[in-house]
Amino acid sequence: MAEGVCVITEFRDGAFRRVSFEIASEGRRLADELGGPLLAIALGDGVTEVAPDLGGYGVEKVYVVDDPLLKDYRAETYVPIAAEMLESIEPKVVLSAGSVDGKDLSARLAARLEAGLATDCTELKIEGGALAAKRPMYAGKALAWCSWSEGAWPQMATCRPNVMDCLPPDTAKKAEIEKTNVALPGSNLTLVVKTEKEVGGKLDLTEAETIVSGGRGMKGPENFAMLEELATLLGGTVGASRSAVDSGWRPHADQVGQTGKVVTPTLYIAVGISGAIQHLAGMSSSKYIVAVNKDPEAPIFSKTDYGVVDDLFRFLPVFIEEVKTLKSTC
Amino acid sequence: MDVIVLLKQVPDTETKIKIDADGKSIDTSDIKWIVNPYDEYAVEAALRLQESDGAMVTILSMGPERAVEAIRTALAMGADKGVLVDDPATEGSDALGKAKVLAAALRSMDFDLVFCGHRAVDDDENQVGIMVAELTGIPHLGMAVSIEVADGKARIERPLEGAKVTLEATMPALVTFGGAHAVWNPRYASLPGIMKAKKKPLEQKTLADLGVSPDEVGAQAAKMQVTSMGLPKERQAGRVLEGDTDEKAKELTRLLHEEAKVI
Ligand SMILES: Cc1cc2nc3c(=O)[nH]c(=O)nc-3n(C[C@H](O)[C@H](O)[C@H](O)COP(=O)(O)OP(=O)(O)OC[C@H]3O[C@@H](n4cnc5c(N)ncnc54)[C@H](O)[C@@H]3O)c2cc1C
């Protein structure tokens, strides 16, 4: 009989991505409620070395396949291995990362296993011995609770990065490792031609704790240097409205909103952004929202914790100096 | 070359969402419907292949009668023909149910490439395209921000957290489109385009035509369902800081540090 929880980790460039620890922590909580073990699947090139560390987040046992062919995520290698593992482990609940690769893997697995999948979940709970998942729809304009049909197996969910609480790891605890050698399919239908790292290791918006976004009010690409400076001081990253992206001032990956990234940082600072419904949809669930706008009637002010009505070109330099002073004294 | 674009009709992004009396879905009474923006990018990419390689572009959609309008929009942009799967038995399908219907429709069609948005901005599920690739047994190149097609292969670039990746797949393949409006700049339907679209072939099909049994799809086959839907808690507009620029800058720094404790 299916029992317990299994998390599918994401390993890249020699380390687990943080979202893996978030889903492991969440998995631990669910497994305690459900009864049954917390297991993990770890696939990658060189993953054996760090796999035991998952124990620090409450994982009891990790099923590992370590192979140079697993260096990059490719559906034709990852999907059959993970599907076979899930069929033999038979967990009741499967959690995976709502990342670019995690989305591909989990949707393929759900189709292969004929499973129900709730994507981008922001809250999970156990109800009557089964999973219930909360997920935003319409870019967060609505929130839905989802449940799985009687007998549907497994109950699969992906978690949005940066949302689930990550436990402080107990570094003394190590997970048991079960290594499997599998003959990897030789099929070469897809090929990773190259991977170019973002210069300066720019944090992805979906994973940033602080985002400083600029809109049309920034007047031109050169003025984003101020936002870059502020973001760096605060350990965050820069985002943009669609107007700023459409104007060619910022790369498309910076766009926040219903047709950009939906973000949930601890602090979101909107500078020269009016707060169109599509933009608000993408950032309204940030913990703290600050807006700087010279128009007191701008709709963005209906969502802000702290509003600054001022000319951004006057306000920002002064504010940046204040933050610098604060940082130098603490 | 045959390119099929999977297209979904969704509520306009301007829509202020209201919850339906059933408490599990949205109230659709006053909704204006549009083509899912990411599917629009897919149509644009397909039309560029029509121009460069003479690709035949077919729009495939699943939905009620009103979805005809979304298909016509794509035909007016320049697509060659359309197919709508309209069957009441598909109502209430989960992502897998929808993918099964679309995969079944693809089985009866010729294609080298299947294009669609990486997600539809209504359910935001990010599943259906990928599941269609899995059920059809073809590679999936996800969240493309560029595409090149040559020598039986499709090559895309796509963002990965903190990196940009170039991927290649042997055709037939399914490509889901990402990026932003600025990346694809989908063309508008021109007036002559709209006139022509009225005469382009648009076929309607039922599950029986596709050989799909009604109990494989729809609400009763769904593995997962929405049990309740609500609106997010309204954020309370907070305080607007007082004083001159210096005072506001000091006060904001203090509030973020001492009250919110986020800097
Ligand atoms: C299908 C569709 C999808 C969309 N998706 C998105 C999306 O994902 N994300 C998104 O952001 N938008 C999206 N939009 C666009 C959205 O409707 C708005 O057009 C856009 O968000 C406006 O950007 P903005 O706030 O930067 O510009 P504006 O609305 O022009 O606002 C600029 C603001 O800057 C202020 N300002 C100007 N100068 C100064 C100054 N010196 N000091 C201080 N303040 C100043 C002004 O008061 C104003 O409020 C979408 C639109 C459509 C149709």
Which of B15, B168, B256, B259 to mutate against chain A (most A CBs within 10 Å)? B256
Instruction: Reduce the DSSP state of residue A27 to 3 states and report it.
Output: helix
Q: Which domains does chain A have, with CATH numbers?
A: 5-179 (3.40.50.620), 205-329 (3.40.50.1220)
Question: Average pLDDT, stretch B32-43?
Answer: 98
Whether A110 and B158 lie within 8 Å, measured CB to CB: no
Report the b/e string of B15-25 with b at 16+ CB within 10 A.
Answer: bebebeeeeee
Percent of chain B with pLDDT over 70: 100
pLDDT for A260 beyond 70: yes
Q: Enumerate the residues of chain B whose CB falls inside 8 A of the CB of residue A212.
A: none
- For residue A298, the number of C-alpha atoms closer than 13 Å in the C-beta half-sphere is 28
How much distance in Å is there from the Cα of A112 to the middle of ligand 1? Answer: 42
The phi and psi torsions of A146 (rounded to 5 degrees) equal -120, 150
A200 touches chain B (CB under 8 A): no
Please tell me the predicted confidence (pLDDT) of residue A200.
65
Q: Where are the domains of chain B?
A: 2-221, 233-263
Q: What is the pLDDT of residues B77-96, one digit of tens each?
A: 999 999 999 999 999 999 99
B195 touches chain A (CB under 8 A): no
Rounded to 5, what percent of chain A is helix, strand, coil? Answer: 35, 30, 35
Whether A321 and B142 lie within 8 Å, measured CB to CB: no
Average pLDDT, chain B: 97
Please tell me the predicted confidence (pLDDT) of residue A232.
96
pLDDT for A201 beyond 70: no
Question: Average pLDDT, stretch A123-149?
Answer: 96
Whether B131 and A301 lie within 8 Å, measured CB to CB: no
Q: Is A235 left (phi over 0), alpha (psi -120 to 50) or beta?
A: left
Residues with CB under 6 A from ligand 1: A 215-217, 241-244, 255-260, 272-274, 276, 278-279, 282, 293-295, 298, 311-313; B 13, 37
Which of B14, B127, B161 lies at the smallest CB-CB distance from A107? B127
Average pLDDT, chain A: 95
Overall CATH class of domain B2-221 = alpha beta
Whether A255 and B249 lie within 8 Å, measured CB to CB: no
